[in-house]
Each structure stands twice: as structure tokens, then as C-alpha cells.
Amino acid sequence: MRPYVKVVALAPLLMVAEVAADLLQPRLMQTIVDTGIANRDMSVVARMGLLMLGLAFLGMLCGLLNTLLIVPMAQGFGADVRGALYRKVQSLSVRNLDSLGTGNLITRLTNDATQVQDALLSLLRICIRAPLTLLGSMVLAVLTCPSLAFILLAVMPVLAFVVFEFFKKSHPMFTRVQDRLDRLNSVTQENIAGVRVVKAFARADYEQSRFQDANRSLTSGTARAMQFTATVMPLMMLVIDAAVAAAIWFGGREVSYGTLKVGQVVAFTNYLQRTLMSLRMVAMVLVRLSRAGASGGRIAEVLNSEPDVQDAPRARTEFSPRGRVGFEHVTFRYKGAQDPALDSISFVAEPGQVLAILGATGSGKSTLVHLITRFYDAESGRVTLDGADVRDLLQTELRRHIGIALQESVLFSGTIRDNIRYGRPEASDGEVMAAARIAQAQGFIAALPDGYDTLLGQRGVNLSGGQKQRIAIARALLVRPAVLILDDSTSSVDVETEARIEKALREAMRSSTSIVIAQRISTVLNADKILVLDGGRLVAEGTHRRLIVESPLYREIYDSQLGDRPPIA
């Protein structure tokens, strides 16, 4: 709020002027009735009428200026909240993001931020206007007709109780609505991201059923909240109308007795209406504040989250590794899991070596490389790069020396050139093309009408799986990494192209470390060292020639894929 201090200070002053101009109207009307009309003095009517018009214009001008000030401020505040949330999300570790969920975060960045933004707009207008009008109207009503003040004393506690109960019960309702909106967004995001799988397995009906369940849950929750809100307003209007009728009844009697004038009753009735309507405005604002309160709590949950992976207080900011990767009795388990994903893993990969990791699905292959990049931190043991514990390095500095092509090749909207340059935006066109040639992507890129300037759709939808993987490899190579990690990143590439990529990488990464995760055993046959994982444990380590003889599990994997061939020795 600091950038908006001047607006926050000036907006209430304009609102005070608007309310003051509004509150003077009934007193002027009283003068017109009791002095001008009663005495048939049209000069009083004219003067008071012009003064009422002048005050109305002043009030309109102040209200207009107030709105012109606070609307841009509220929009700016909403943008600041979204920006702060986005920066926080970028700073969180992978484990934090796994816990929060994609759909949940999207809701908080969009809907929740908008709810808070709208609440601020209401706060700076209605929540200032309503209390000022309430207090001013009550004081002026009592000063105008002290004998009718008992009507206010009778009605105000009733309305205050209704408003209090309304707020107490509506807040949890709107919290549940926002949670259900999270669920709907999560289902929608999963379905759209996995639309090819849905179509491939003909599960559209099932996904529609999931969406309808989430949609019905949101609809019913929202309907209950809005129905509760709708019942409060008619009840308040009933009380307000009853109060006005009582004022006219008792005021009329006193006029007939000569103890009050007609203008006094008219002014008192106006003030009474303003008093009670201001309470009604408060109730309406509380609907918005209830939703904003729920949204604000969810935003605060993200902003107050501490990254699971943090830089050490004196983390090294400069580091030039050669690429020696070491694991020293490393154990890691995912949050909520009983069994470790990695159990006491130890090995060393020297610069210039190609280290291959093999194992069944769920054996811990991807988890292992995620510890090198500090997507997660080890539960015990040490992961080192050139002998330095990765936890003692600044995360950005560590990752600057690691190139990684993940299992799922994630590309962004933009050109092919921009995607390859993602890790090094300053790279020259020559460097981009050199990386593409090593990744065997130059051929198909050159065949495209716009070449490297070809625009990619969201997530690279206009490329094949193998093409996306090769661009991802080129992107990893362009950062000139000391450690290159390929996490099953040639699974969609044909064997012949994969062999060419392997040969080119051998030449390009002669002085750096390459870590290759593969499902196809043919990918790892020529590796300098092969790690065989099973259930999170390192069960065998060595070259192909050694493992084919010494490791039953490795031999089993080999036979299952290349069983008809004689063992390669």
C-alpha cells in the first residue's frame, strides 16, 4: 500500500465532503417546509433550493473525484498482489509447488486477487461513506427530533445483530466456495493438459463426469451462499420500512399536538432512512468482504510460505565447476511417504564421463537428478559438485552450470530460436544453430518455412514429440553446462537419430559430465559408468561389460529388451 499513501489519505477527505453535502440536505428541506412553505415565503424556498442544488453538485464532484482516484489505485493494488504472488511462486521450491497444486495457484493468482482488489475499492468508498453517513445521520436525527430518538434506539440493535450474524455465517460459506473453485480449476487444468490422453483412451465421458461433479459442487455452494445473502436484505428492508412507518406515525401525532413541525418530521424521516440504509450498505459490503477475507487468507497462505529449499546464509555466489558429481550416502523421501525414494546412494561421476542411470519405473532415477539441481534437498548425506555441497551454493549459481532436458519436453509460446535461447538469451544465432546441430534438430528446423523464427503454439503443440525433445536438448546444451542431465529425453526419438545425438554429445561434452536416464538399454550401452537402481537403492554400478556378467537385474533388463541378440561385450 505504500505507493498509494497519498490516494488513501485524499480519498477519505473527498468522501467526508460528499457525505457532509448529503447530510445537509434534510436540514435545508426542513427550512423550506417550516419557514418557506409554511409562511409562503418563496424567497426562502428559492434560496434553500439553490443551496441544495449547489451542495448536490459539490457532493457529486467530490464523489466523482474520489472514484477517479480510487479505481486506478485499486487496479494497481490488484496488479501488485498478482505480481507479489507470481514472484513468490517463482521463489518456492518444487516440493512447495507440489503441495499447493497448479489449479490452486491459478485461482489465487486470478480470482482471489480480483476479490481482494474489488474489496479494496468497496473499502475506500462504501466502507468510508457508510460509517460517516451512519454516525452523521444519527446525530442530526436526534438533534432534529429528540422526542423520536427512541425509534433509533429500538431499531439499531436489531439491524446490528442481523449484520453481525450475517458476517459470522457468510465468511466460512465463501471460504468453501473458493475451495470448490480451486477444485474446478484443477480438474479443468488437468483435462486440458492431458486432452490427448483423454481422447486416446476414449475417456471424455469420465472427464465430463469429473468436471460436472466439481461444477455442481461449486454451483451448489455458491447458490447457498448467495441465497443466505439474499435473505438478509429483505429482512433489513422490512425493519427499515417499519422504522420509517413508526417515525411518520409518532411524528404525525406530535405534529397534530403542536409539539413538532412538519419539516422536522420530514427531516427526521430522511435522516432515519439514511441511518438505516447505511447499515444496509454495510451488509452489502460485508458480502464482498466475506469473499475477500476468504481470498485474502488464501493469498496470505502463499505469500507466507517459506521455500522448502533455501540458500544458505553465506552461500557461494561464484563457482566454476568442472563437473565432478558426487553422492555420499544420500537418502531422500517425498513428503508424506513412509519409504525413501532414495536410500543411502553413493557414487561419483568424473568430468568427461557419461553416467547412465537405469532402473524400473519408480526406482528413483528422476529423483536422483532432481537432487543435483536442488529441486529437492537430501534428507541425509551430501550431494556435491566438484567437492562442494550443493546446499552451500547459491541456487541460481548452481543451476547456471547445469543443463537439463526433462522427461516432459516443456516448450513455451514463441519462436524456436527463443526456446533454444531460453537459458542464455544473449546467445548468438551461430551458437543457437550449433546447439541445434548437436541435438540433431537443424534438419527439421531448416525444413520449416520460417526456420528458427517458426512460432510455436502453447507447449510446442505444432511439433512432434521427438522434435520437441531435440529442441529441449539444444536448449540444455546452449548454456554450456558443466553437468548435462538428459532425463529420458530421447524416448520419442528413433534409434538412428538417438545414436547420432549420442555421438555428437560425446564430442561436445568431452570436458563435462553427462548424466543420462534412459528406459531403452540401447541408450546406455556405451556409457562410461552405469548405475542400476531398484526400489531407491543402488544395486549395481559399472560398465556394460561388467554388469552383464555381475548384475542379475541388469541382465534381466538387457534380456527383456535385447534378448534375441548375443550379449554385447
Give residue-wise pLDDT tens across range 143-160: 888 888 888 888 888 877
Q: Work out the number of other CB atoms within 10 angstroms of the CB of residue 248.
A: 15
| 8-22, 283-297, 510-524: which is most confident | 510-524
pLDDT of residue 547: 92
- 311 part of a folded domain: no
Residues 207 and 336 in one domain: no
- 316 part of a folded domain: no
Q: What angle do CA 387, 318, 329 make, to 5 degrees?
A: 25
- 375 part of a folded domain: yes
Give residue-wise pLDDT tens across range 190-237: 776 666 556 555 677 877 888 888 888 888 888 888 787 777 778 777
pLDDT band at 473 (very low <50, low <70, confident <90, very high): very high
Of the three residues 271, 303, 335, the one that is the final residue of a domain is: 303
Residues 555 and 470 in one domain: no
pLDDT band at 565 (very low <50, low <70, confident <90, very high): low
Count of domains observed in the chain:
3
pLDDT of residue 324: 93
> Does residue 243 have a pLDDT over 90?
no
pLDDT band at 171 (very low <50, low <70, confident <90, very high): confident
- 296 part of a folded domain: yes
Of residues 8 and 416, more confidently modeled: 416
> Does residue 462 have a pLDDT over 70?
yes
Residues 460 and 357 in one domain: no
The share of the chain scoring above pLDDT 70, in percent, equals 95
Give residue-wise pLDDT tens across range 429-458: 999 999 999 999 998 999 988 899 998 877
pLDDT of residue 562: 74
- 254 part of a folded domain: yes
Residues 373 and 422 in one domain: no
Asked if residues 445 and 466 have their Cβ atoms less than 8 Å apart, the reply is no
- 291 part of a folded domain: yes
Residues 391 and 418 in one domain: no
CA–CA distance, 453 with 569 (Å, rounded to integer): 45
pLDDT of residue 142: 86
Domain span including residue 434: 408-480
Residues 349 and 433 in one domain: no
Residues 341 and 201 in one domain: no
Q: Work out the number of other CB atoms within 10 angstroms of the CB of residue 165.
A: 11
pLDDT of residue 3: 61
Provide long-range contacts, Cβ within 8 A and 24+ apart, for 181-185: 181/107, 181/111, 181/218, 182/101, 182/103, 182/104, 182/107, 183/103, 183/214, 183/217, 183/218, 184/103, 184/211, 184/214, 184/215, 184/217, 184/218, 185/103, 185/104, 185/106, 185/107
CA–CA distance, 116 with 386 (Å, rounded to integer): 48
Burial of residue 450, with CB atoms counted within 10 A of its CB: 0-12 exposed, 13-18 middle, 19 or more buried: exposed
Residues 374 and 431 in one domain: no
The sheet that has 388-389: what strands, in order across it? 342-349, 325-332, 380-385, 388-389
> Does residue 568 have a pLDDT over 60?
no
> Does residue 368 have a pLDDT over 90?
yes
Instruction: Give the lowest-confidence range in 5-14, 51-60, 271-280.
Output: 5-14
* CATH value at residue 547: 3.40.50.300
Residues 352 and 391 in one domain: yes
Residues 372 and 424 in one domain: no
Residues 112 and 258 in one domain: yes
Of the three residues 455, 480, 505, the one that is the final residue of a domain is: 480
- 393 part of a folded domain: yes
Q: Look at strands 414-415 and 354-359 and give their pairing.
A: unpaired
- 191 part of a folded domain: yes
Of residues 390 and 409, more confidently modeled: 390
For residues 525-540, average pLDDT: 92
Residues 532 and 560 in one domain: yes
CA–CA distance, 519 with 501 (Å, rounded to integer): 16
**Lookup: cell for 85:** 504472488
For residues 50-79, average pLDDT: 86
pLDDT of residue 69: 82
pLDDT band at 340 (very low <50, low <70, confident <90, very high): very high
